[in-house]
Amino acid sequence: MADCECLEGCLFFNEKMAPYPATAEKIKNSLCKGDSTECARYIVFQKFGKAQVPSDLYPDEVERAQKIISN
C-alpha cells in the first residue's frame, strides 16, 4: 500500500512529534505506511478535510474521531 496522502504535511508529525523521531517513525510505520484508515486524524480528514482535523487529535484516538465525525 502507498503512504498516507497526509503524511508529508501532517501537523502531528511535523509539530508534536518532531522532538521524538524514533517514536514518530514507529507510529508512521504502523499507521501511515500502509492502511491509514486506522488513524484518527485520517478518519476526520476523510470526512471533513484537513482544516477540520483538531490539532490535539492523536492518531490512536479513533474513538474520539468517530465521535467527531458522527456529530
Q: Please give the chain's pLDDT, 71 residues, in tens.
A: 688 999 888 999 888 999 999 999 999 998 898 788 899 999 999 999 999 999 999 999 999 999 999 98
Q: What residue numbers bound the domain in which 24 lies?
A: 7-70
**pTM here?**
0.88
If you ran DSSP here, which 8-state letter would residue 5 be given? T
Q: Residue 63 region, left (φ>0) first, then alpha (ψ -120 to 50), else beta?
A: alpha
Q: Which amino acid is located at 14 in the chain?
A: N
Residue at 1 is within a domain? no
End-to-end CA, the chain: 30
Number of domains in the chain: 1
Residue at 56 is within a domain? yes
Residue at 53 is within a domain? yes
Residues 33/54, Cβ–Cβ less than 8 Å: no
Taking the C-alpha atoms of residue 28 and residue 39, their distance in angstroms, rounded to an integer, is: 10
Q: Which residues pair with 33 in a beta bridge?
A: 3
Residue at 55 is within a domain? yes
